[in-house]
Amino acid sequence: MELDNGMVSLNTSTGEETWSFLLPEHRGVDEETDVSVSPDGSMIAFSPGQSMVLLDTGSGQEVARLGHTASGPSQFTVDGAGLIGDQGLFTVEFDHDAHISLTPWQEDGQEWKSTIPACDETEIVDVSQGVLTHDQMVIEYSCPFQEPVTVGVDQSDGQELWRLTQGKDYSPDPDIFPAPIPSAEYDFGWWET
């Protein structure tokens, strides 16, 4: 369970506390917090403000502590503090390309950085979402005047595995997405009012 200054793990059969991790310096501080669990459930990240504490879900022991620049209630996003993976933190920074990196939790873990092409002529990208599977990071993004793109990246080395472009490789089902999904004509809100 997330608290304003830490985490408490409960036994789901009995409701008894199995471990707690508290940051007394954050008690009563008016900062939004966020929590994210790794895909295999072995790690949980707690972020009070612009810091992150990674805990082992079995023991509650601290595994790592990192700073970040994201804020608000949704910090663990691909374009925020990053995605919490089993082996490390996955982050993406965009200019006209997507610069992806893995920062491992363990000191002897494999760190990598990779770049995949994103926007043709602009440095502005709208990242719709990012998610981790057991072996891939999937990123969906849009560039002004280009169709939305979904890309699968190998978690082990950051290499692009596949790419799907809306309108070319797939079309949204109108029964599932009744509202129009922005296409290449979408200008990201820069219009006269």
Helix or strand or coil: residue 129?
A: strand
Rounded Cα distance between 42 and 85, Å, is: 10
pLDDT in tens, 100-138: 999 888 888 889 999 988 887 776 667 778 888 889 999
Residues counted in the chain: 193
CA distance 180 to 114: 33
pLDDT at 153 over 90: yes
Lookup: tokens for 41: 């459930």
Mean pLDDT throughout 70-95? 73
Q: Give just the sign of the alpha carbon dihedral 25, 28, 30, 34.
A: positive
- What does the block give as tokens for 101? 């990196």
Cβ contacts of residue 19 below 8 Å, gap of 6+?
8, 9, 59, 60
pLDDT value at position 188? 47
- Is a pLDDT exceeding 60 seen at residue 143? yes
Task: Give CA–CA dist 97/40, Å, rounded.
Answer: 29
Question: Residue 190: what pLDDT?
Answer: 43
Region class of 188: left (phi > 0), else alpha (psi between -120 and 50), else beta: left
At 85, the pLDDT band (50, 70, 90 cuts) reads confident
Distance of CA 55 to CAs 15, 42, 115, Å? Answer: 20, 9, 29
**pTM for this prediction:** 0.71
- 22-80 pLDDT per residue, tens: 875 655 556 667 788 888 888 888 877 667 788 898 898 988 877 766 555 555 666 66
